[in-house]
Structure formats: C-alpha cells, structure tokens
Amino acid sequence: MISALNRLVDLVEEHLTEELDVDGLARRLGTTEYHLRRMFSSLAGMPLSEYVRRRRMTVAAADVIRGEDDLLTVAVRHGYGSTEAFGRAFRAVHGVSPGDVRRDGGPLRTQPHLRFHLTVEGSIPMDTRIVDRPAFRLVGHAARVPLIHRGVNPHIQRHIAALPPEEHARLKALSDAEPRGLLQVSDDLGPDAAEGSELTYLHGVATSRDTPVPDDLDAIEVPAGMWAVFRTSGPHPQVLQDTWAATATEWFPSNPWRLRPGPSIVSVLDRADDFSTATCELWLPVEPA
C-alpha cells in the first residue's frame, strides 16, 4: 500500500497538467481506486484532488513569477481553459491572484512533494476480528450531514436529539442481525473523505433482508461481504476516532485487506450516562487485497 501511494504521488508529478488516471494506476498495482483514494486522504490529511491542485499551483507560481509568458499561456499550460478559472484555483491555494504574485513575488503557499513511509508504532491496540456477513439491511432515521473528522459532530447530535425516547426503543425491537443494538451508520461518503463533504448518517439498527421495514423509516441495503471489526474502549469519541485513523496508518498497511465501497458502522456496546466514555465496535467493509 505504501509503495502504491508513492507511485501515485510520482504519477501526479509526471502528469501535473493532465487528467490523472487513478483507476488505471490502481488496477496496475492490484488495488482499487476507492481504496487508493481513501488511504491517500487518511494518510495525507487531504483529498487527492486537493493535493493535485496544490502541486499544480505550486509549479504554476514559478511560471507566473518568471513572467516569460502571459497569464493565459500559463493557465493553459497547467490545465485551465481560461485565466478566470486559473485565477480562482490560484487564489484558493495561495490566497492572492496571479497578477499580485507577478507584481510582488508573493506571498506563496507551496505544497511540498509528498512521500509516504510506513511507521508502525503500536500506539493504539488493534483489537480486530474479520466477519463474513450475508446481505442485510440497515433501518432507521437518515439525514445528510457534513463530515467532521475530530470531535463531536453537532449535526449528528441534533439529528439524534430530535428523535423521541420511545423511538429508540422501537428501533431496538427491530434489531435481529449483527451488528446488534442501536447503530451509527455513515454511508454515501466519497472516496476522498474530505472534511466538510456530505454523507448520509443513519441512526438505526441492522435487520435481516426478510424483516419488514416500517413505511416511516429509511433503509440501506447492504450486500454480502467481509467486514473488519475493531473494538474500542475509552474516552468518547476520541478513542473511536483515533482507532479509525489508525486503521489507515497501521492496520491496512500491515494486513492483506483493503476497503471496499459500503457503509461504515459503529455499534455502541456500553457507555457512561453522559457518553464521556464508551466501548464500541467499528465495522468497516473490506475485501482481500
């Protein structure tokens, strides 16, 4: 996985002004575009698309400062069809327009060439099991919310708080499949997993495919497949989020599995009354690498 990510970074450098064929590279490296993008985003701290844009604008800034070509020529050279589109991308990275940089020489925010290195510290115990599950259904109340990587997501909090107490009991009564109990489900998240990007959050339970779904509930159909299940215990949600990050930095690079498209599921097994601490299981859909 680490060598695949470094090859991806090299490909970015070789084709900075062209469309990147991530799917073709992933297939040549024996993995999938989905897994490659998710691992890049998790380890680099930014989506691949953002890294490409930052690198393009870092190299483009040198052309702007040299002043040998007009701005339209520089824009076209770096993959933009107009000075307006180029200017928007340039300002998004550097905070100033190309004209300002040509006149003043800066300020510039450069993006260094990334290199990935595997360091397994064992700082987070990875209590893991692999589960092969038949197709099942996730049933509950869904909402579109922005992704927040650290801390409590207030949008999810409001969504759950709006449900009456008796609704939680009704959902629990529907649960008849693993993962058991009330679940926190994240679905429809893009492979780049960018902070602020939207996902579907479902507060609900797992049921068999034969269990009838009440008309007032949302449902997510989950196909049969393998799952990596990570058990966490401690301050919540910090330990859960740290473990989620460690799956990318420690577990996936060290194990012959890769992510496949599908929902991620958190099952809360036990918790303090104020939810300051909790024991959870994080379910991630995987397939052999």
| CA atoms of 13 and 113, how far apart (whole Å) | 8
| CA atoms of 162 and 266, how far apart (whole Å) | 20
Say how many C-beta atoms besides its own lie within 10 A of residue 158's C-beta: 11
| CA atoms of 289 and 285, how far apart (whole Å) | 12
| CA atoms of 76 and 71, how far apart (whole Å) | 9
| CA atoms of 278 and 184, how far apart (whole Å) | 13
pLDDT of 256: 83
pLDDT band at 119 (very low <50, low <70, confident <90, very high): low
Greatest mean pLDDT range, 4-13, 207-216, 234-243 = 207-216
Which are the contacts of 158, defined by CB distance < 8 A and separation ≥ 6?
none
Q: Which SS3 state, helix, strand or coil, does residue 147 take?
A: coil
pLDDT of 22: 87
Is the per-residue pLDDT at 239 higher than 80? Answer: yes
Sign of CA dihedral 91, 95, 100, 104: negative
| CA atoms of 4 and 196, how far apart (whole Å) | 27
At 122, give phi and psi (nearest 5°): 70, 25
Residue 259 pairs in a beta bridge with: 286
Amino acid residing at 180: R
Residue with tokens 């991630």: 284
pLDDT band at 170 (very low <50, low <70, confident <90, very high): very high
pLDDT of 19: 80
1-104 and 128-288 agree in CATH topology: no
Class of the domain covering 1-104:
mainly alpha
pLDDT of 193: 78
Across 129-143, average pLDDT: 96
Alpha helices in the chain (DSSP H): 2-14, 22-28, 33-44, 48-66, 71-77, 83-94, 98-104, 154-161, 165-174, 238-246, 252-254
| CA atoms of 179 and 199, how far apart (whole Å) | 20
Sign of CA dihedral 229, 234, 239, 243: negative
| CA atoms of 182 and 175, how far apart (whole Å) | 8
Sign of CA dihedral 78, 81, 83, 87: negative
Residue 141 has which token pair? 């109340």
Class of the domain covering 128-288:
alpha beta
pLDDT band at 282 (very low <50, low <70, confident <90, very high): very high
Residue predicted with more confidence, 139 or 117: 139
The pLDDT mean for the chain works out to 88
Is the per-residue pLDDT at 46 higher than 80? Answer: yes
- Is the peptide bond preceding residue 237 cis, with omega within 30 degrees of 0? yes
Enumerate the domain spans of the chain: 1-104, 128-288
